[in-house]
Amino acid sequence: MRIKLTVSLIITSFISLFSQIVQADKTIPLNSPALTRLQQMTEASEKSNYEIYFSRNTDLADTSVRYRYVNDNGKKYAQLLYLDGVRQEILQRDNIISYFTPHYPPFSIQGSHIIDELPAVLYADWNQLAKYYDFIQGGKDRVADHIAYVIRILPKDDFRYQYVVWLDENSGLLLRSEILDRNGNILDQFKVIDLTLSDHLKQIITPLNSLTLPPILSLEEERVDNKNTHSTTTTSNPTPTFNWTPSWLPKGFIELNHAYLPGQDLQESRLYSDGLFSFSIYVTNKPIPSAFSGIARTGLNTIYTDNVNGHAVTIIGQIPATTARRVVQDIKFKANAKGEEKQ
């Protein structure tokens, strides 16, 4: 549970950090109708006041959600409420995201957006992504009784998935998205059932401002920002070494942070993202039995585990199986204490 939770929290905490890192290396592509509409979608998602009811479907589950979002002079407020089963909700008050679920005590983290159940395309830097994806304007369709533009987001290589998005003709908001593999199979679908745009939604501001939010969760991590690391937490457990690194990554994927889970089997991890998809690599200080190695897929995430130089290495993320396998098998370890280089 802790590993799964840590992955989600790290991605939430560092999605805004990614946009800061790429600001220094922007190549502005030629304007196109598809690119313009994608940029308008991101702006509309940030500045509009709206409520959506939507479904999120994978091969693991079908989820029904209500999401309310308000921008009050630059200050963000949001509520994401799961509509089925026991009550679970996520609240945003500016840069604090709070989780309320019966599965663990309430907690808060710092972040710029709620990302649970919401597609990554909502927060993308499209000028940066144009280096690695082509944006293809399709025709029009109808979603939730709204006319929508259809745009395909196609990778320029074979190492990542593709997106298809449907954007409301009037508001520019995202009405539907699908993530497809290279064979066109749908891996993940987001679909709006009802959309309301109204300033009356600002009524959520007063109760959110008056709410006492749960404490901010502290993660044991080191942030990577333009090659400068910033230590944030210390423990009495063994110090992580991070003496390993992947020698190959798909173009555009950059490291966002280091993190570690102390314990008997010290586990170190690195989080990577291209701004649209992300994955984490976990390395422990012991190998695992060969029977536990192999590859699997759960929902959108690929999970691949193998032993590399006496260490169990696991990758979990939104990438094809062939990409995951190559990343793990190309991990290199630095010289050990005796000066012997590990391959």
Strands 162-168, 301-308: pairing kind: unpaired
Which residues fall within 8 angstroms of residue 186, CB to CB, at 6 or more apart? Answer: 178, 179, 180
* Segments of the chain assigned to CATH 2.50.20.10: 31-210
**pLDDT at residue number 19:** 44
Q: Are 171 and 262 contacting, i.e. CB atoms less than 8 angstroms apart?
A: no
Task: Please tell us whether the domain made up of 31-210 is placed in CATH 2.50.20.10.
Answer: yes
Tens of pLDDT along 268-301? Answer: 999 999 999 999 999 998 899 988 889 999 989 9
How many Cα neighbours within 13 Å face the side chain of 320?
A: 19
**pLDDT at residue number 260:** 79
Tens of pLDDT along 95-150? Answer: 999 999 998 899 999 999 999 999 999 999 999 999 999 999 999 999 999 999 99
Under the banding of pLDDT at 50, 70 and 90, the label for residue 267 is confident
**pLDDT at residue number 194:** 98
Order across the sheet with 311-317: list the strands.
Answer: 228-231, 221-225, 254-261, 267-273, 278-284, 311-317, 301-308, 294-298
Tens of pLDDT along 321-332? Answer: 999 999 999 999
The whole-angstrom separation of Cα 223 and Cα 294 is 30
Per-residue pLDDT for 263 more than 50?
A: yes
Helix spans in 23-156 (H): 33-47, 126-129
Taking phi over 0 as left and psi of -120 to 50 as alpha, with beta for the rest, 94 belongs to: left
CATH homologous superfamily, domain 221-333: MucB/RseB, C-terminal domain (3.30.200.100)
Using a pLDDT cut of 70, give the percent of the chain over it: 81
* Mean pLDDT calculated for residue range 31-46: 95
Tens of pLDDT along 144-179? Answer: 999 999 999 999 999 999 999 999 999 999 999 999
pTM of the model: 0.84
**pLDDT at residue number 61:** 87
**pLDDT at residue number 29:** 47
Closest CA to 279 of 244, 231, 246, 309: 246
Per-residue pLDDT for 235 more than 50?
A: no
Using a pLDDT cut of 90, give the percent of the chain over it: 71
Closest CA to 168 of 40, 73, 49, 277: 40
How many Cα neighbours within 13 Å face the side chain of 273?
A: 29
Q: Give the number of residues written for the chain.
A: 343
Average pLDDT, the chain: 86
Tens of pLDDT along 68-99? Answer: 999 999 999 999 999 999 999 999 999 999 99
Per-residue pLDDT for 2 more than 90?
A: no
**pLDDT at residue number 219:** 57
* Mean pLDDT calculated for residue range 303-329: 96
* Segments of the chain assigned to CATH 3.30.200.100: 221-333
Under the banding of pLDDT at 50, 70 and 90, the label for residue 239 is low
